């Protein structure tokens, strides 16, 4: 999968993909992330990419021309499945959205700043708008990093134990069960006996029961869905 991210603060997007699972995905050639500095594509003087909004009001708006120049360039080079705009008024990002996006070939993600991007870019180019939560970030970069991380780890072959993503929280609509590692007795608190019993069927049943219980207690709304 190839993901092109458009940003005015590209440095914010260096570290999130340089470690751990994302690093491995890139090294294996399963995920290619290209971050583009929008200022490199502006036709305006002094690398201008934003301007005052028509109608007045506080805050700048990202101008359409630099975005269109870069989007046209990328789209002339390959076909993209989606042009995603990160925005608090987008569709809420959930595991099922990540699952769907992980099967795509090429994606563009636009990170907004200031008051956001000129609406004509949304009308003319954007095919999907994503919010990562009901709060406002100072830019779309951190939100884009969240989305790329959630998608990237789902690409087949990225996780060592391919089945492990199947047992993530939300993957079956439930929260994940509790997990334990050594020592079996930590400062007097013991690992549940059932996990040491060696019977995979019993362990699966216990985990499922724990998932249900956690979901009932913490996120009962998930069970209604
Ligand atoms: N940009 C600013 N806030 C955001 C949010 N909550 N989700 C996605 N993009 C954003």
pLDDT at 147: 98
Domain with CATH 1.10.1270.20 in the chain: 169-224
Which residue is closest in CA terms to ligand 1's atom 7?
131
pTM: 0.94
Q: Which of 5, 13, 132, 134 gets mutated to test ligand 1 (max ligand atoms within 8 A of its CB)? A: 132
Q: Which CATH number fits domain 169-224: 1.10.150.120, 1.10.238.10, 1.10.1270.20, 1.25.40.10?
A: 1.10.1270.20
Percent of the chain with pLDDT over 70: 99
Q: What are phi and psi of 153, to 5 degrees?
A: -70, -15
Domain with CATH 3.40.1280.10 in the chain: 2-152
Structure tokens at 61: 């708006």
Q: According to CATH, what is the number of the domain 2-152?
A: 3.40.1280.10
Atom of ligand 1 nearest to the CA of 138: 2
What does the pLDDT look like over 17-62, one tens digit per residue? 999 999 999 999 999 999 999 999 999 999 999 999 999 999 999 9
Which residue is closest in CA terms to ligand 1's atom 4?
88
Q: Which of 92, 112, 150 gets mutated to test ligand 1 (max ligand atoms within 8 A of its CB)? A: 112
Which residue is closest in CA terms to ligand 1's atom 5?
88
Which residue is closest in CA terms to ligand 1's atom 2?
137
Measured between alpha carbons, how far is residue 115 from residues 2, 50, 64, 83, 136 in Å? 28, 10, 13, 19, 11
Residues with CB under 6 A from ligand 1: 86-88, 112, 131-133, 135-137, 140, 143
């Amino acid at each position: 999968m190839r993901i092109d991210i458009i940003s005015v603060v590209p440095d914010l997007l260096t570290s999130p993909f340089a470690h751990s699972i994302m690093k491995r995905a890139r090294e294996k050639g399963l995920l290619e992330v290209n971050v583009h500095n929008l200022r490199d594509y502006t036709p305006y003087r002094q690398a201008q990419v934003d301007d005052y909004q028509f109608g007045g009001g506080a805050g700048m708006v990202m101008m359409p021309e630099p975005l269109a120049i870069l989007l046209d360039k990328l789209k002339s080079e390959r076909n993209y499945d989606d042009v995603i705009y990160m925005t608090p008024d987008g569709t809420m990002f959930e595991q099922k959205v990540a699952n769907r996006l992980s099967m795509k070939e090429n994606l563009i993600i636009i990170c907004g700043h200031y008051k956001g991007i000129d609406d004509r870019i949304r009308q003319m180019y954007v095919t999907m708008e994503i919010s990562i939560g009901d709060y406002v970030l100072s830019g779309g970069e951190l939100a884009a990093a969240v989305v790329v991380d959630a998608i990237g780890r789902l690409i087949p072959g990225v996780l060592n134990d391919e089945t492990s993503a199947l047992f993530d929280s939300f993957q079956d609509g439930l929260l994940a069960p509790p997990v334990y590692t050594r020592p079996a007795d930590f400062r007097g608190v013991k690992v549940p006996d059932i996990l040491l019993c060696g019977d995979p069927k019993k362990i699966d049943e216990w985990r499922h029961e724990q998932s249900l219980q956690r979901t009932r207690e913490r996120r009962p709304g998930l069970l209604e869905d």
